[in-house]
Amino acid sequence: MRKLYTLVIASIALLITSSIMAKEQPTQILVLIHSDNGGTYKMAKELAKGIESQPNTKATIKLVTTSSNSSLSTLPVATVEELPTYDGIAWGSPVYFGNISTPMSAFMSKTVDLWTAHALEGIPATVFMSAGSGAGRELALQAFANSLSVHGMILVPNGIRATEMIDNSVPQGNSVLGASSLASNKTVERPSKSELAIVYAQGANFAKVSTALKGTFVKQDIPDNKTTAVDIETVLKQKNITLPIAPNPVGNYTPYSQAGNLIFINQVALKDGKILYPGKVGVDITEEQAKKATEQTMLNVIAVLKTAVGGDLNRVKKTVQLTGIFNTTPDYSQHANLMNVASDLSVEIFGEKGKHARGTLGATSIPVNSAVEIQAIFEIE
Ligand SMILES: Cc1cc2nc3c(=O)[nH]c(=O)nc-3n(C[C@H](O)[C@H](O)[C@H](O)COP(=O)(O)O)c2cc1C
């Protein structure tokens, strides 16, 4: 009886201690955004201020994908795996046709493993957006909620919070679902003071809810590479990525070269024996066509890599370096934008292991009039 009594007291003490410890750690909130022109980022910064207006809270703004916009390019890019480590996630994106933006949607579609592992269940979520005219913005805010509900996140709407701060003489982006901004309505500077006040209030309220719910759900550590080992062939199937047949060399060289654990590969935009979208970017082909050529080239690289690892892409330890060479005019400057296609593909297929160092440059011509050549280095097991 005495033993049982001691055990009960010890358990209660442990519970109280862990609950106190959970409260003492700062509430960590991820502000996860996509932004093309910076409007969503401006909203995110104000939301983060609102979050950090609350005691013992920390807001971290991250992008869902790399950005070539100079005001955003220094922001860190979030991984899917880190999402369950936060006490709350605020999701922000531009409105695209009454929906969340395509890059935000692409990021969301990479969270299938988190969904099957129930990894985001019970974590608070809130949403905000930047719109143009505002057409369909409530549909878009609602669309965010659809995906987050599938994850079982606790949705925190904004209600009519801070509406007393609104200047009703001009249109504003307020919504009970979450703050938004009417970026193309330039009657006042956007986001307007009213919109910023609302998103700030949303951040402050979200921080309160996240702190209150902290510790009520299983918070997972960032899994290491071993525990998250995913079968690359399954990833390719899930993402509908079909690798081409690795192109054969047309000279006295090999499709790849191995030195120790490093594999070296160079490819151009060959597709079914012909160059896809040949020529100079901006002269013979559009940037969109150059992006398609870049995608084809990177797929060729990975097809050759598959040969190099004996058909088992799970042996790839890391994409070490990618160098993109583009057939451009001397004044062309958007190489990074084109190369993002290859970088994103590497990360999409290999996850964290797909992140790499990168170089891009322009050339006056590229063999067989390809618009792009990619030189790649991988580490394998
Ligand atoms: C493909 C696309 C679709 C868009 N659809 C809408 C729309 O349905 N409603 C709207 O108000 N704005 C729409 N816009 C405008 C953006 O939502 C707006 O420019 C937004 O402020 C961009 O946010 P950002 O500055 O963070 O990039 C659209 C923009 C793009 C590129």
pTM of the model: 0.61
User: With 60 as the cut, is the pLDDT of residue 241 above it?
Assistant: yes
d(C-alpha 21, C-alpha 18), whole Å: 5
* Closest residue by CA, ligand 1 atom 23: 94
Q: Which residues line ligand 1 (CB under 6 A)?
A: 35-40, 94-98, 130-137, 183
What is the whole-number distance in angstroms between the Cα of residue 39 and the centre of ligand 1?
Answer: 10
CA-wise closest residue to 114 among 48, 32, 56: 32
| pLDDT tens figures, 177-201 | 999 999 999 999 999 999 999 999 9
Looking at residue 14, what is its pLDDT? 47
| Residue 157, token pair as written in the block | 């709407």
Distance 88 CA to ligand 1 centre (A): 26
C-alpha to C-alpha distance for 270 and 297, rounded to whole angstroms: 7
Q: How far apart are CA 175 and CA 198, in angstroms?
A: 9
Residue whose entry in the numeric block shows the structure tokens 């531009």: 94
Nearest to residue 63, comparing CAs of 81, 44, 86, 47?
A: 44
Between CA 309 and CA 314 the distance in angstroms is: 9
The single-letter DSSP state of residue 36 is S
| Percentage of the chain modeled with pLDDT above 90 | 78
Return d(Cα 248, Cα 254) in angstroms, integer.
Answer: 8
CATH superfamily membership of 19-213: Flavodoxin domain (3.40.50.360)
**Cα-to-centroid distance, 192 and ligand 1 (Å):** 17
When pLDDT is averaged across residues 5-19 and rounded to a whole number, the result is: 51
Judged by DSSP in three states, 233 sits in helix
Please give the pLDDT value at position 5.
57
CATH pick for 232-380 out of 2.40.50.140, 3.30.1330.30, 3.30.1330.40, 1.10.3720.10: 3.30.1330.40
Q: How far is Cα 257 from Cα 305, in angstroms, rounded to an integer?
A: 10
- Which pLDDT score is estimated for 227? 41
3-state secondary structure of 110: coil
pLDDT above 50 for 220: yes
For the chain, the residue count is: 381
Instruction: Give the DSSP per-residue string, 139-169.
Output: HHHHHHHHHHHHTT-EE---TTTTGGG--TT
> CA-to-CA distance for 181 and 140, rounded, in angstroms?
13
Residue to mutate, 33, 73, 97, ligand 1, most ligand atoms under 8 Å from C-beta: 97
The neighbour count for residue 133, using CB atoms within 10 Å, is: 12
User: Are 302 and 327 within 8 A, CB to CB?
Assistant: no
* pLDDT of 68: 83
What pLDDT, in 10s, does the model give residues 34-60? 999 999 999 999 999 999 999 999 999
Measure 132 CA to ligand 1 centroid, in angstroms: 5
Contact 60, 31 (CB under 8 A): yes
Give CA–CA dist 120/110, Å, rounded.
13
Domain edges within the chain: 19-213, 232-380
Atom of ligand 1 nearest to the CA of 92: 26
The reported pLDDT for the residue numbered 301 is 97
Using most ligand atoms within 8 A of CB, pick from 73, 91, 96 the residue to mutate for ligand 1.
Answer: 96
- Percent of all residues in the chain with a pLDDT value above 70, rounded to a whole number: 91
Query: Given a cut of 60, is residue 4 above it in pLDDT?
Result: no
Q: What is the pLDDT of residue 205?
A: 98
As a whole number of angstroms, the distance between CA 155 and CA 44 comes to: 18
Average pLDDT of the residues of the chain: 91
Q: Quote the pLDDT of residue 381.
A: 87
Return the structure tokens found at 194: 């009213």
**Confidence band of 230 (pLDDT split at 50, 70, 90):** confident
In the DSSP assignment, the letter for residue 181 is: E
pLDDT tens string 249-279: 888 999 999 999 999 999 999 999 999 999 9
Question: Tell me, what amino acid is at 38?
Answer: G
Q: Indicate which atom in ligand 1 lies nearest the CA of residue 98.
A: 8
pLDDT at 228: 45
Residue 171: asked if its preceding bond is cis (omega within 30°), the reply is no
What is the chain's Cα-based Rg?
24
Would you say residue 73 has pLDDT above 60?
yes
Question: pLDDT tens across 158-169, in order?
Answer: 999 999 999 999
| Residue 71: C-alpha distances to residues 33, 269, 339 (Å) | 14, 32, 19
Q: Which residues of 357-373 are buried (b: 16+ CB within 10 A; e: fewer)?
A: ebebebeeebeeebbbb
Q: What is the pLDDT of residue 67?
A: 86
* Two tokens, residue 53: 């207006």
pLDDT band at 226 (very low <50, low <70, confident <90, very high): very low
Rounding to the nearest 10 degrees, give the CA dihedral for residues 278, 284, 288, 290.
Answer: 40
Q: Is the pLDDT of residue 224 over 50?
A: no
Residue nearest to atom 12 of ligand 1 (CA): 132
Pick from 20-29, 275-284, 289-298: least confident:
20-29
